[in-house]
Amino acid sequence: MKFALFKSWGIRERLVSIAVVPATIMFVVVSLSLYFASRDEIRSDISERGNILAAALAESSRYAVVSGNTTPLNQTLHGLLAIDRSIISLQITDAQRTMLTSVGDNQTELAEIQVFERPIRAQIPDVDVFDKTGGPHIAAPAGQSASFKDGNAVGYVRVVMSALPVLEAKRQRVYAGLTIVLLALVVSGIAGLILARRLRDPLNSVMTSLRGIREGNYDVRLDDHQRGELGELQSTIVAMAKSLSQSRQELESQVEARTSALQNAIELANQADEERRRLIARSNVVVEEERRRIALEIHDHLNAALLFVRLESQRMGRLAALLGSNADAKEIESVADRISATTADLYDAARTITKKLRPEQIDTLGLKGALEEMLRNYRSAHPQCRFDFRAPTKFPKLTAELTITAYRVIQEALSNIVKHADASMAAVTLLAKPSQNDISITIEDDGSGFNVKKRVTAGIGLIGMRERVAAVGGSIKIVSDPNTGTKITIELPTKGG
């Protein structure tokens, strides 16, 4: 967390800070320590020099004080002031501290002032040996004769010095140095920026390529080829992109091969499925045709033959009755009766078989009529269950194939209801949807229901329903629930398909 700021720095910030920060710190530390160290040095140097200067001046100004001729001394003092900038003022006074001569700023209020004072002591023959006319003169200046004894102070030297001017000069030098360092920092900062740019440009191109690779663009070209580590990085990326591209191509061709194999397999399966459907549809047609033929055969030949046998046996009975009432005649009559009754049973059975094989209403009345008849039969055979039939008054005439498909499917559904559902209500609904070119059939019951998803191994009724519907290009949906019963919805296309 502490270094989060530095972590977010880019190359430019890092390089510039490397170029600028250490040099700045070094310069500031070195200059400040030198400045503070030299301050103390300057101070002690000044006190040393002040003492020496005061002593030397006390010595050399004795004659001027005694003689009262301060002009040459004044010149000397000016010279000293000019060569040493730490001297603020030089003052020479007499014994009463009356100013005889002075140079520099006497009223200074500068800080860091150091004052060095020395008495100017009389020495024999420190007397004005010449009078103003140039003749010998032994007298002391007026009013001073009493103090003119050897060793007495005849005046004072005051040297006022300060470290400030020298320090000021030193500070100016530090400022000048700082300015130079600032310039140097700017220059090295610019150098850092240029270096960062030279680093960043190839790195940017490397990053752009990496981003491209991430997005799947393996055609990497790095025109500005560098030397050293950067160059190695660039060539590694180019090599990596190349091998990635190769593996992608290999993978793609593998996927392509697998996909086309899969597509072939699907096509084959679809073809097989299609052929199977066609086969089933064809066999359904053949079976239905065969059933119709057998039904016709039974109707035309067997039933006619049975009718003939019945009529003949009845005639035989009547003839036997004409023979009188002997036992043989009675026997013949009863045999004729039995033959007649059996033939009638056979005739009924044959009619039932023909109906089952091919309900004749289907050809005469169409699907709706045949279904009405079917439901009538169910009602009389299973009075415990209510059978409803709903169909529009004008139901379109379907093709023979569609009619028999719908009929057989409904027949199987109703047979399942009476076999398995234990229902109290069953309903068949026909709906014609001319706009959508198909008819819809629903068969529902309120019975026990069953698990539609469970694979049934025993019966083939449901499978047959699905196959019949699929063979004519229709769809079937079975919904079943133990609480509500079963509902089968079938859609059959009346055109095309």
Ligand X SMILES: Nc1ncnc2c1ncn2[C@@H]1O[C@H](COP(=O)(O)OP(=O)(O)O)[C@@H](O)[C@H]1O
The reply to whether 480 sits near Mg ion by the rule CB under 5 A is no
CB of 449 vs ligand X, minimal distance in Å: 6
Q: Would you count residue 354 as binding Mg ion (CB under 5 A)?
A: no
Query: What's the CA gap between 185 and 182, in Å, rounded?
Result: 5
**Which one, of 455, 367, 380, 453, lies nearest residue 411 by Cα?**
367
CB distance 377 to 361 below 8 Å: no
- Of ligand X, Mg ion, none, which one sits near residue 420, judging by CB under 5 to 8 A according to partner kind? ligand X
Instruction: Specify the residue, 231 or 459, whose C-beta has the smaller distance to ligand X.
Output: 459
- Decide whether 351 or 382 has the Cβ nearer to ligand X: 382
What is the rounded distance in angstroms from the CA atom of residue 460 to the CA atom of residue 126? 158
Q: At CA 206, angle to CA 203 and CA 207, rounded to 5?
A: 90
Q: Which does 78 bind (CB under 5 to 8 A by kind): ligand X, Mg ion, none?
A: none
Q: Quote the least distance from Cβ 353 to ligand X, whole Å.
A: 21
| Residue number, nearest CB to Mg ion | 461
Closest contact distance (angstroms) between CB of 339 and ligand X is 39
Among 162, 226, 416, 494, binds Mg ion (CB under 5 A): 416
List residues binding ligand X (CB under 6 A).
Answer: 416-417, 419-421, 445, 447-450, 456, 458-462, 486
- Cβ closest to ligand X, residue 86 vs residue 480: 480
177 near Mg ion (CB under 5 A): no
Distance between CA 434 and CA 429 in Å, rounded? 16
Closest CA to 392 of 436, 426, 435, 440: 440
Choice between 177 and 461, CB closer to Mg ion: 461
How many DSSP H helices and E strands does the chain contain? Answer: 12, 9
Question: Which residue, 387 or 450, has its beta carbon nearer to ligand X?
Answer: 450
Nearer to ligand X, 261 or 456 (CB): 456
Cα–Cα distance, 134 to 138 (Å, whole number): 12
> Total number of residues binding Mg ion (CB under 5 A)?
3
Contact of residue 163 among ligand X, Mg ion, none (CB under 5-8 Å per partner type): none
Closest distance of CB 443 from ligand X, Å:
8
411 touches Mg ion by CB under 5 A = no
CB of 429 to ligand X, least distance (A): 15
Closest to ligand X by CB, 317 vs 447, is 447
CA distance 303 to 295: 10
141 vs 461 by CB, closer to Mg ion: 461
Question: For residues 154 and 122, what is the distance between their CA atoms, to the nearest angstrom?
Answer: 6
Complex with ligand X: residue 148 or 450, whichever CB lies closer:
450
Pick out residues in 423-462 that bind Mg ion (CB under 5 A). 459, 461
In angstroms, rounded to a whole number, what is the distance separating the alpha carbons of residues 195 and 389?
93
User: Residue 413 CB, nearest distance to Mg ion (Å)?
Assistant: 8
Query: Which residues make Cβ contacts (< 8 Å) with residue 442, sequence separation at least 6?
Result: 427, 428, 429, 431, 487, 488, 489, 490
Q: How far is CA 59 from CA 101, 149, 269, 350, in A?
A: 16, 16, 133, 172
Instruction: Evaluate whether 131 touches 88 at the Cβ level (below 8 Å).
Output: no
276 binds, among ligand X, Mg ion, none (CB under 5 to 8 A by kind): none
Burial class (CB in 10 A: 0-12, 13-18, 19+), 352: exposed
The item of ligand X, Mg ion, none sharing an interface with residue 407, based on CB under 5 to 8 Å by kind, is: none
CA distance 119 to 95: 8
Q: Which residue is nearest to ligand X (CB)?
A: 459
Query: What minimum distance in Å lies between the beta carbon of 419 and ligand X?
Result: 6
Contact 493, 473 (CB under 8 A): yes
Q: How far is the CB of 384 from Mg ion (least distance, A)?
A: 19
Footprint of Mg ion on this chain (CB under 5 A)?
A: 416, 459, 461
